[in-house]
Amino acid sequence: MELREIVRECERLYEDLELGSVRRWKEQNAGGRAVGYLPTYVPREILHAAGVLPVGILGAGEQLEIVRGDACFQSYICHLPRSVMELGLSGRLDVLDGMIFPSTCDVIRNLSGIWKLQFPAKYARYFDVPQNFETAVGGAFYERVLRELVDDMGRLTGRPPKECELRRSIRLYNENRRLVRELYELRAREPWRVPASESYLVLRAGMVLPVEEHSQVLREYLDEARAADRKMVDNARVVVTGAFCEQPPITLIRTLERAGCYVVHDDFMLVLRWLGDEVDDSDDPIGALRAAYLGYDEETSSRYVPDGQAKGAKLVEAVRANGAEGVVFAAPSFCDPALLDRPMLQRACDEAGISHTAFKYSENTGQLQPIREQAGTFADTIKLWGEA
C-alpha cells in the first residue's frame, strides 16, 4: 500500500467507533473473544495467547455526542470515562466479551466498579500493578495478578493459554514493540518524514488490529515513510507529555504541527511501548512478563518513582535523546496524575534549561485556535531565541 492509503486506512480504524474491524475479526475467528482495555498498561500477550483480541478503548475523541456518559460523571471528572460509558451504554462495545481496567488513577479504578454495576453479565477486571518493584515483594504479587489474568482468559475462552503460546505471543509483541521503537526513532531523526499526526494514526491502529497485522502495517508504513519525498522545514522539535491516558483529538496533534512543532517524542498509547522490546521469550513466560514490568523504568504519572530516582529525569533524558528543543505539557483537564506531576516535571525541565509550555485539553476539544497560538508562539520563541 502507498503511504497515503496506509494512513487513510488507519484513520478509518480511528474513526470507527462501532469497532467494525473487531466485529470482522470475530466473524473470521469462530469462537474468538475480544476484550477491551483502558490505558495505561495491560499485558496484551496473555490475552493474545488465549486467542483473545485485545482492544484498546481510548474513548470517542471528538466524534460522539456524550449524553448518557455525562449522566454518570460530575462536571469535574475528566472526559475519557464519559465517552467510554457512552460507548458502552450505546451498545458500541457489545462486541467485546469483557473489559480490563488498569490501575491508572482513581477514576479508571472507579470506572471498573461502574462497569460491573452497569454490565454485570460481562467480564470486568481491575488490573492492579505493583508500585513496589522488588522482585520478591511487588514481583511476587504481580506474578499472582498475571496468573489470575491467565486463568480469567482461560475461563473466558475455554482454552487456557499454554506456555508455548505465551512465549509465541511475547515474541510477536516484542517484534511489534521493536517496530514501534523504530518508528519513534525515525520520527525523532527525521520528523518531516513521519508527521506525528500520521504516526499517531498508525500506532492507534494497534489498538484494534491483531498484533500480527499491526506489525505489518508498521513495516509498510516505515518503508513508505523512509522513501517518501518530504521536505524538512524549520520547525521546533518538541516532546509532548501528559497524554498517557485520555488522548488528545487528532486535530490537536495536527494543530501542533501547523503551529510549527515537530513532535519528536510523546507519551501517547504507552501500552505499545511499555516493557521495551526485550521480554525474554525463552523460558517461563509469566516470570518474563513480571521481570520486564519491574525492570522497565520509564516514568509515567501512574507509576511511583521510588527513592533514589529523580522525578523528571526520564523526561529530560527523552528531550536530550531525541534532540528536542522544548517540552509541551499537554494534559487532559481534571487529570489528577498528570496535573499533579506537572510542577515536578517543569522544575526538572527548568533545572535542565529546557523550555516548556503547558495547556489542558479534553478528547473532544474543539477550540484549537488558542492552542495553535500558544504552540506557535512557543515554537517561534525556540526558533528565534534558542533557549526561551
Partner 1 sequence: MRTAIAREASMDRQKAMIADHFRELARAKEQGRKVVYTFVPGNLTELMLAFDVLPVHPEINALQSGMRKLSGEFIGEAERAGHSEDVCTYVKCDIGMMLKGNIGPTGEKLPEPDLLLLSYTGCFTFMKWFELLREKYRCPVAMLHVPYQADGEITPSMSTYVVQQLERDVIPKLQEVTGKSFDVDRLRELLACSARAEDDLVHVLESAKHRPSPIDAYFGGVYYIGPLFTAFRGTPEAADYYRLLREEVEARLEKGQGPVTPEGILDDERFRLVVEGPPNWTHFREFWKMFYDERAVVVASTYTKVGGVYDTGFRHDPARPLETLAEYCLGCYTNLSLPARVDMIVRYVQEYAADGFVINSIKSCNSFSAGQLVMLRDIEERTRRPGAFIETDLVDPRYFSASNVKNRLESYFQMLSQKQAVQA
Q: Which residues bind partner 1 (CB under 8 A)?
A: 71-74, 76-77, 81, 103, 105-107, 109-114, 116-118, 125-126, 128, 130-132, 134, 136-138, 140-141, 144-145, 301-302, 304-307, 311, 331, 333-337, 339-344, 346-347, 360
The cell numbers describing 169, all together, are: 505471543
Single-letter residue type at 82: R
Q: Residue 145 or residue 275: which is nearer to partner 1 going by CB?
A: 145
The cell numbers describing 170, all together, are: 511475547
How far apart CA 129 and CA 113 sit, in angstroms, is 17
Q: Residue 145 or residue 166: which is nearer to partner 1 going by CB?
A: 145
The cell numbers describing 30, all together, are: 469462530
Taking the complex as a whole, the smallest distance from the CB of residue 360 to partner 1 amounts, in Å, to: 7
Q: Residue 142 or residue 268: which is nearer to partner 1 going by CB?
A: 142
How far apart CA 293 and CA 129 sit, in angstroms, is 9
Nearest to 268 by CA among 73, 114, 59: 59
Q: Residue 157 or residue 346: which is nearer to partner 1 going by CB?
A: 346
Give the pairing of strands 261-266 and 236-241: parallel
Taking the complex as a whole, the smallest distance from the CB of residue 109 to partner 1 amounts, in Å, to: 6
- Return the number of other C-beta atoms located less than 10 Å from residue 226's C-beta: 11
Taking the complex as a whole, the smallest distance from the CB of residue 79 to partner 1 amounts, in Å, to: 12
Q: Residue 53 or residue 85: which is nearer to partner 1 going by CB?
A: 85
Which residues, 6 or more positions from 92, have their beta carbon under 8 angstroms from its beta carbon? 17, 18, 19
Taking the complex as a whole, the smallest distance from the CB of residue 148 to partner 1 amounts, in Å, to: 8
Q: Residue 210 or residue 248: which is nearer to partner 1 going by CB?
A: 248
Taking the complex as a whole, the smallest distance from the CB of residue 59 to partner 1 amounts, in Å, to: 15
Taking the complex as a whole, the smallest distance from the CB of residue 71 to partner 1 amounts, in Å, to: 7
How far apart CA 201 and CA 178 sit, in angstroms, is 18
Sign, Cα dihedral of 170, 98, 248, 225: positive
